[in-house]
Amino acid sequence: MKSNTKKFEISRRTAIQSVLGVAGMGIMALPDSSYATGVGHKLAASTKEQIKGNGEVKITKLETFLVKPRWIFLKIHTNVGIFGLGEPLLEGRALTIQTAIKEIEPYLIGKDPRNVVHHWQAIYRHAFYRGGPILTSALSGIDQALWDIKGKLLNVPVYELLGGPTRDRVRVYGRASTPEQMKQQKAAGFTVIKTGVAKITHANIVENPRFIKYAIDNFASLRDAGGDDMDIGIDFHGAISPQTAKILIKELEVYQPMFIEEPCQCQNVDVMVDIAKGTHIPIATGERIFTKWGFREILEKGAASIIQPDLCHAGGITEGRNIAGMAEAYYVPIAPHNPMGPISLAVGLQLAASIPNFLVQEQVTLGEGYLKNPFKLQKDGTVLIPKGPGLGVELDEALMADKIGHDWKNPETYNSLDGSVVDW
């Protein structure tokens, strides 16, 4: 028995040493197909034929163009004739984002586009000053386009690459600020609407009863027009002071909004925590928060019970998936922010299709006039998950010909009494 035991121990030790030796050899030298070399992986014969017989795929060019009303579309081209689409938007800073992408382009040229997460890490971490809206917005669009390319090369939707669908349709919401608009949106099929705080003028730091009554009466009229079966979110846009926000929320509670979005500036996390603890209405935030690191404090402190990462700002599909995973650990659902174009919507649908904790998707266009096959609002207020490869959308460049170019700028708002700057 002792002899057999000794032989087993020697055999086990030899096997472990053998495995460690192989692993060590792998660490010492980068293979030709390493992510860092830019050469890329060899493809199976069937896949080679699919991409015109070329087993190597390389990025050849990054192309951006401004699209009305205020968007940027990105095309990442490859040597095999396949390109990916993205929306690297930063509202009011279009030329800045175009420049940022141009600065990133030299890193990507010649690289294999399929190494999506590796490229995300390189672009983000090789910048000494990490994060912020410029870098992460440029990176978001690039990440979207790389996932689009990868899906097209493999002939599957992006959500299949992320583990397969968790749902077959996605609830989307429209917008309304008047009872007439509410009725129109409900007739169109929407079951969720977002509105804003109705104001006679801008909001002061401390507001009077007239301001409060005007805002509450407007929301009440929307509730009446939409009925009790309509979910209505209300966006404070971070432009209401915490003092006034608390009063508004208290008065709104009887009408049961679906959520209160950005009740104060999102960087004011501890105040948002205080607001969240003072109401049973869900607090939502996230459109101006970037990457998983930005959302960590929100989740840890319980500042919001719905988070709204913008996949054109927060880090694209790669980072959106990470943020959703973090949020799931806190039992928090995701409602992606998206007042952008149809590529952004397609990205949101791919994420929604691949995570369990999805709530609702914002949209302002289903793609009419931009896509060859626009999305369609279903009778139940949803949009079906696209089945095509990659992001599942194709631009209609003929229809877009009169939409190329814009000089959209952020509104400049001032106090009508003394001319001081106010939030919009």
* 112-166 pLDDT tens trace: 999 999 999 999 999 988 889 999 999 999 999 999 999 999 999 999 999 999 9
Work out the average pLDDT over 312-339: 98
Checking 54-60 for CB contacts under 8 A at 24+ apart, the result is 54/79, 54/80, 56/112, 57/82, 57/112, 57/113, 57/114, 57/149, 57/153, 58/110, 58/111, 58/112, 58/113, 59/108, 59/109, 59/110, 59/111, 59/112, 59/113, 60/109
Q: Which amino acid is at 391?
A: L
What pLDDT shows up at residue 299?
98
Catalytic (active site) residue 126 = no
* 77-102 pLDDT tens trace: 999 999 999 999 888 899 999 999 99
Contact 59, 110 (CB under 8 A): yes
What pLDDT shows up at residue 244?
96
pLDDT higher than threshold 70 for residue 27: no
What pLDDT shows up at residue 416?
87
pLDDT higher than threshold 70 for residue 249: yes
pLDDT higher than threshold 80 for residue 297: yes
Nearest Cα neighbor of 218 from 235, 205, 199, 201 is: 199
Helix axes 291-301, 316-329, angle to 10 degrees: 20
pLDDT higher than threshold 70 for residue 12: no
Phi, psi (deg, nearest 5) at residue 66: -75, 140
pLDDT higher than threshold 60 for residue 398: yes
Work out the average pLDDT over 32-56: 47
What pLDDT shows up at residue 99?
96
Range(s) of the chain covered by CATH 3.30.390.10: 45-157
User: Residue 378 has which token pair?
Assistant: 């279903």
pLDDT higher than threshold 80 for residue 61: yes
More confident residue, 332 or 50: 332
pLDDT higher than threshold 60 for residue 36: no
Q: Architecture of domain 159-389 in CATH?
A: Alpha-Beta Barrel (3.20)
Range(s) of the chain covered by CATH 3.20.20.120: 159-389
More confident residue, 34 or 382: 382
Q: Architecture of domain 45-157 in CATH?
A: 2-Layer Sandwich (3.30)
Catalytic (active site) residue 337 = yes
Q: How confident is the model at residue 390 (pLDDT cuts 50, 70, 90)?
A: very high
Mean residue pLDDT of the chain comes to 89
Nearest Cα neighbor of 284 from 207, 360, 221 is: 360
| Identified catalytic residue from 41, 118, 237, 406 | 237
* 176-231 pLDDT tens trace: 999 999 999 999 999 999 999 999 888 999 999 999 999 999 999 999 999 999 99
> How many angstroms separate the Cα of 183 from the Cα of each of 175, 188, 217, 296, 337?
11, 9, 17, 39, 23
